[in-house]
């Protein structure tokens, strides 16, 4: 994967990350492996947002859980500030959780229904008391409520008393309580109404401006990450198929899968017309992915080479992003035709 900012060291560096799950098979089939994540690489720098996008089941949430060591990686490397995360023991993981926090998709299930907002947000300081001195905790708690746009009267209330958007704000405040350098947002707005989605995305942008934290923002909709992301990585069936600056990926997508995703995204300009690309068939099973290019079974550009040879993610002539496609950039005029 290309180096996004060679002038500085990445906060988070993921290299050839793999996560396979064992599948027991059946009476008539052998033991198999589900290749949920199969060779994912990227770098994330301070103050940067990387949008990780793909259909449900492509492995993007597994990437997040593996980085956080919520599930054990099969192989590869994950480094935070140069330190290998995958080799940390239980005690050393406290250091990781101090600096890398996660905001989950469902704000209700990720919050304890038995704790008040004050308890939820302040609990991390009991686990790691060096973050905020006891004498300063009440002031810091009030600051966090202000930062995420919650009234001070929220302190003694419980999660079920809030709307979905407000609960997500509580989850963000809990993550910020640790003063992390990296925040992983796993589909943080997918369960919210469109108007509330915009509020949460604007909040995350404000948080990044104030704290300088780096964000890994996971979503299944390219339009959701358009304005918040500096870089975009598009995943399909466990692999990144396109990677580049957000403006480049949106203006000139070079992988046919990215083109199909963008063709389905709503366009605010009524005078702009874009041809709708409808993918045929279903996403193949990660138990038995296609040979060569994994997207070839649904791709209108597929040729013989796509079946026999897996494309590397590279920069191709006439394209602005790095793409895993033998015919990267072909038929880009489809994106502007009515």
CA-nearest of 179, 130, 10, 148 to 78 is: 10
pLDDT given for residue 337 in this prediction = 45
What backbone torsions phi and psi does residue 215 show, to the nearest 5 degrees?
-120, 135
Q: Which residues of 266-279 are buried (b: 16+ CB within 10 A; e: fewer)?
A: eeeeeeeebeebeb
**Per-residue confidence (pLDDT) for residue 195, from 0 to 100:** 82
pLDDT at 278: 76
> For position 29, what pLDDT does the model report?
56
Other C-beta atoms within 10 Å of 293: how many? 28
Q: How crowded is residue 76: how many other Cβ atoms within 10 Å of its Cβ?
A: 18
Which residues sit opposite 34 in a β-bridge? 21
Q: In DSSP terms, which residues pair with 315 in a beta bridge? A: 322
User: Which of these, 262, 257, 181, lies nearest to 224 by C-alpha position?
Assistant: 262
Mean pLDDT by 10 residues, the chain (338 residues): 65 96 66 88 96 93 95 96 92 87 86 95 91 94 95 95 93 94 92 86 92 94 87 96 94 91 70 70 86 93 93 88 87 50
Which residues, 6+ apart, have CB-to-CB distance to 72 below 8 Å? 66
Cα(326)–Cα(302) distance, rounded to whole angstroms? 9
Q: Check if the beta carbon of residue 233 is closer than 8 Å to that of residue 39.
A: no
Domains of the chain, earliest start first: 12-335 (3.40.50.300)
Q: State the pLDDT at residue 269.
A: 58
pLDDT score of 30: 61
Global pTM value: 0.90
């Amino acid at each position: 994967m290309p180096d996004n900012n060679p002038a500085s060291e990445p906060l988070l560096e993921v290299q050839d990350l793999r996560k396979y799950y064992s599948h027991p098979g059946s009476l008539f089939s052998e033991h198999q492996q589900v290749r949920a994540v199969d060779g994912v690489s990227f770098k994330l720098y301070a103050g940067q947002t990387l949008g990780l996008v793909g259909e449900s089941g492509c492995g993007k949430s597994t990437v997040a859980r593996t980085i956080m060591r919520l599930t054990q990686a099969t192989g590869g490397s994950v480094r935070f500030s140069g330190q290998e995360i995958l080799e940390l023991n239980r005690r050393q993981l406290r250091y990781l959780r101090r600096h890398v926090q996660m905001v989950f998709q469902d704000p209700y299930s990720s919050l304890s229904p038995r704790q008040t907002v004050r308890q939820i947000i302040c609990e991390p300081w009991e686990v790691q008391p060096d973050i905020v001195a006891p004498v300063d905790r009440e002031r810091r708690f009030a600051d966090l409520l202000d930062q995420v746009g919650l009234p001070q009267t929220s302190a003694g209330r419980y999660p079920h008393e809030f709307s979905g958007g407000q609960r997500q704000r509580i989850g963000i405040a809990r993550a910020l309580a640790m003063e992390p350098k990296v925040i992983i947002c796993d589909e943080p707005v997918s369960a919210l109404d469109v108007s509330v989605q915009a509020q949460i995305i604007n909040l995350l942008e404000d948080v990044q401006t104030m704290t300088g934290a780096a964000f890994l923002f996971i979503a299944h909709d390219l339009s959701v990450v358009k304005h918040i992301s500096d870089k975009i990585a598009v995943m399909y069936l466990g692999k990144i198929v396109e990677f580049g600056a957000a403006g480049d990926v949106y203006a000139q997508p070079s992988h046919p899968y990215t083109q199909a995703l963008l063709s389905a995204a709503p366009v605010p300009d009524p005078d702009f017309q874009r041809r709708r690309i409808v993918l045929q068939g279903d996403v193949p099973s990660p138990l038995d992915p296609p040979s060569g290019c994994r997207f070839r079974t649904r791709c209108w550009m597929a040729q013989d080479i796509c079946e026999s040879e897996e494309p590397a993610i590279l920069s191709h002539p006439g394209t602005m992003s790095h793409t895993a496609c033998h015919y990267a950039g072909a038929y880009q005029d489809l994106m502007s035709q009515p």
